[in-house]
Structure 1
């Protein structure tokens, strides 16, 4: 190992070069204490293929990565959370993230890639939550959205 060079704690996803799931968890851990003062939300966008043609082609992942990166604001954080899944940590309330997610899943469906659509799950960050719990909530919401179908956005809500 070279002097003064630290290995990456969480490497990038090799296909998209986005931060990995491990890096996402690190970012969430750093961001959670700040939610006492400012709200933040996790959006998990999942790709859907009408032909079940998994894995998704690298060119498709590259196009979606570019679309997502161009759609974000300067303080937003984009990572690869799993196969065919992208995570975005956004400043602001869950309502705003849900509106952004609806725009993004519509835009992904309009990329012109045959059979490609998307769905999204939303989970608010908050005091007392762990990074693992926030990601679990986001992924559970994404799973429900995928089951509901293309273009669906589901926000995590605690039962009353």
Structure 2
């Protein structure tokens, strides 16, 4: 007797609170550790997407986080990974060279602006995974670049390019 299973179709648009389902900072560091072990054989980068808002209310509303989660999740390939590195920050691990990471970062920042949420934008910091780096150092580099991108304004993408 054969039992057929119906495939589960996940409709991200219907999920409220989907941002809360993502792994947090501890999960981000664990996934970075795992990916760093293959950094010499398989190029990859960490994108840290940070939301920017023109209003100064805190925290970022859940619907904005959920919409961003759906946007990022729909933009990733099968071997990419998403987590939350902060209250309004998303960590995205991408396989591929730095040029791929730059292109994805620009696309994600533009996508956040196009979500139709007044005053919502994003900046992105990028750190390439390199042999010999720790997960915390990669995250520090991406966060440094995100801070610079946020200061430059919505739509900005900064990639780490040297020792600081």
* TM-score of the superposed pair, with normalisation by structure 1: 0.89
Deviation at 1:53, TM superposition (A): 2.2
The 3-state SS of whatever aligns with 1:73 is coil
Deviation at 1:31, TM superposition (A): 0.8
Aligned equivalent of 1:6: none
Which deviations, in whole Å up to 9, do the C-alpha atoms of 1:69-105 show, x marking residues without a partner?
A: 0000000010000011000000011221111010110
Q: Which runs of 5+ in 2 are unaligned?
A: 1-16
Question: Which whole-Å CA distance do the structure 1 matches of 2:78 and 2:19 have between them?
Answer: 23
> Does 2:71 align with 1:85?
no
Given that 1:29 and 1:130 are in contact with CA atoms closer than 8 Å, whether structure 2 keeps it comes out as yes
Aligned equivalent of 2:76: 72
RMSD of the TM alignment (CA)? 1.6
2:154 to 147, 150, 153: 150
Alignment of 1:56-71 (within 5 A): 56-71=60-75
The 3-state SS of whatever aligns with 1:37 is coil
State how many pairs are aligned. 148
Aligned equivalent of 2:6: none
Deviation at 1:27, TM superposition (A): 0.6
Question: Which whole-Å CA distance do the structure 2 matches of 1:140 and 1:94 have between them?
Answer: 17
Given that 1:35 and 1:125 are in contact with CA atoms closer than 8 Å, whether structure 2 keeps it comes out as yes
Deviation at 1:52, TM superposition (A): 1.6
> Does 2:133 align with 1:129?
yes
Q: Which runs of 5+ in 1 are unaligned?
A: 1-12
Larger CA Rg, structure 1 vs 2: 2
Question: Which whole-Å CA distance do the structure 2 matches of 1:26 and 1:124 have between them?
Answer: 16
Given that 2:18 and 2:66 are in contact with CA atoms closer than 8 Å, whether structure 1 keeps it comes out as no
Q: 1:98 to 1:17 in 2, by over 3 A?
A: same
Question: Which whole-Å CA distance do the structure 2 matches of 1:132 and 1:96 have between them?
Answer: 23
Q: Stretches of 4+ moved more than 3 A in 1?
A: none
Given that 1:16 and 1:65 are in contact with CA atoms closer than 8 Å, whether structure 2 keeps it comes out as no
Which deviations, in whole Å up to 9, do the C-alpha atoms of 1:96-131 show, x marking residues without a partner?
A: 111101011011001110100000000000100000
* TM-score of the superposed pair, with normalisation by structure 2: 0.87
